[in-house]
Chain A
């Protein structure tokens, strides 16, 4: 079977770790370097972000109501999404396991026959 080679190197030989490590180090250093020019970015017209969360003591009940649908919606999204993903995984796993068992049975029968 024709194998693609370069400089007489077998394609089975793994790519050298040193090259990979070098590339990774350069990439990390440069990505860190990218944060430096970020500091030059002008203070924008966007509102200042909150850099810490401050708890309140007593919460007047009427202020909570408008937020409730968004809050509940968010939790439904997360739990619902996770539930449907687990369901999908289980179904796929079940279908493949079923096929595996069927084929194993078929192989056994052919082995006997």
Chain B
């Protein structure tokens, strides 16, 4: 009895696929360091440029630290996303991944975790830098800070990974990625900035921070669910 033209191959479990994709990305990155170093340097440059531009009479602008932090992360993530998938395109590894008998959503989750790891590495440097340059007292409430930073990064990365993967075979992809990405992630950025700003207030209000954190969690779940479905639908020929 025939089962169709395409032979059934043993499929790889979801988690194993995710781990294989993530490990591949981390291994390549740890050997070359290309994207990590360039992303980090670019993010630091962004923060410094904002510092040079906005500092008046030796003082940083009030309340500017949160916005500057997240703008720098957003710009740096755009570069990282573009470069990560450009590397896949040049080596034709994305095509190989899509041909493999693995669940497509697992490929997306693997790439997503890789991007999150990259951004997390940049944020480990950026957060103390912003704290230092703008005397922002970011680490006064570290648990809440980590919550806000992690959820906002996941939201950025979820949409960014999807769009960057979608655009890998498109012309003008370098220009189109920010054009598509920025409007969609604006709500995430706003929530991240507002949440981070709330942490920096002298009169710390837990309810306000919790609200923005819950909103970020909601965005993350909605975007990741949507991206999982869209990735499978869009990445087939």
Listed in ascending order, the chain A residues whose CB lies under 8 Å from chain B are 3-11, 15, 19-20, 23, 26-27, 30-31, 33-34, 36-38, 40-42
Contacts and interface: CB of A to CB of B under 8 A. Distances in A.
Nearest to B187: A34
Contacts, number: 78
A61 to B, nearest CB: 44
Contacts of B6: 5, 8-10
Given A7-B11, A19-B229, A27-B225, A33 B218 contact: yes
Given A34-B215, A37-B211, A42-B208, A11 B229 contact: no
Interface string B63-104: 000000000000000000000000000000001001101111
A4 B95 contact: yes
Nearest to A35: B218
A111 B207 CA distance: 76
Contacts of B25: none
Nearest to A31: B222
Nearest to A7: B11
A7 B236 contact: no
B95 A23 contact: no
A42 B201 CA distance: 15
26 contacts: A3-B237, A4-B235, A5-B99, A5-B236, A6-B98, A7-B9, A7-B102, A8-B4, A8-B9, A8-B101, A9-B6, A15-B233, A19-B229, A23-B229, A26-B225, A27-B226, A30-B221, A34-B214, A34-B218, A34-B219, A37-B215, A38-B215, A40-B207, A40-B208, A41-B208, A42-B205
Contacts of A19: 229, 232
Interface of B: 4-9, 11, 95, 98-99, 101-104, 205, 207-208, 210-211, 214-215, 218-219, 221-222, 225-226, 228-229, 232-233, 235-237
Nearest to A8: B6
A41 B229 CA distance: 32
A5 to B, nearest CB: 6
